């Protein structure tokens, strides 16, 4: 049986009860959402580079908060970047709702993450954007 990356993330966060667990546990659902959006023709092609950037950020071992160093909490920047990219998609409310499989309304989840962006990643946010070419 082949396991996709979202399943790997689900396994990683399933028992996590450390710092910012409410945010960390969004990682698999956000990764799934980003991945499924690539197939949706309702989004403009111009949205795909930022979606691809957020997906690649999840799998990169060299981001500013690497999981190899921080453990599961190292997903915090991945979640923040994904939320930022998804929140910035133009006219995507229905598309996001159609693909969201997580708990609660997707826009509320994104807003909750972004409201804590400075607390979660601080001054690293600019380098996160630069890392994936979204600066």
Q: Can you give the residue ranges of every domain in the chain?
A: 5-131
Give the Cβ contact number of residue 98 at 10 Å: 13
pLDDT digits (tens, 9 = 90+) for 78-131: 999 999 999 999 889 999 999 999 999 999 999 999 999 999 999 999 999 999
Query: What average pLDDT does the chain have?
Result: 94
Q: Where are the alpha helices (DSSP H) in 14-123?
A: 21-24, 27-37, 48-59, 67-70, 76-88, 93-99, 106-115, 117-121
Q: Biggest alpha carbon distance in the chain?
A: 41
Handedness of CA 49, 52, 56, 58 (dihedral sign): positive
Handedness of CA 81, 31, 12, 59 (dihedral sign): negative
pLDDT digits (tens, 9 = 90+) for 20-79: 999 999 999 999 999 999 999 999 999 999 999 999 999 998 888 878 888 899 999 999
């Amino acid at each position: 049986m082949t396991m996709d990356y979202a399943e790997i993330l689900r396994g990683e966060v399933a028992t996590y009860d450390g710092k910012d667990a409410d945010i960390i546990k969004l990682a698999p659902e956000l990764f799934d959402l980003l991945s499924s959006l690539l197939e949706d023709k309702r989004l403009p092609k111009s949205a795909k580079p930022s979606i691809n950037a957020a997906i690649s950020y999840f799998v990169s071992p060299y981001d500013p908060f690497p999981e190899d160093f921080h453990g599961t909490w190292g997903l915090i920047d991945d979640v923040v970047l994904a939320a930022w990219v998804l929140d910035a998609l133009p006219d995507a409310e229905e598309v996001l709702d159609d693909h969201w499989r997580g708990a609660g309304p997707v826009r509320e989840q994104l807003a909750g993450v972004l409201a804590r962006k400075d607390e979660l990643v601080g001054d690293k946010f600019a380098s996160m954007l630069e890392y994936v070419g979204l600066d």
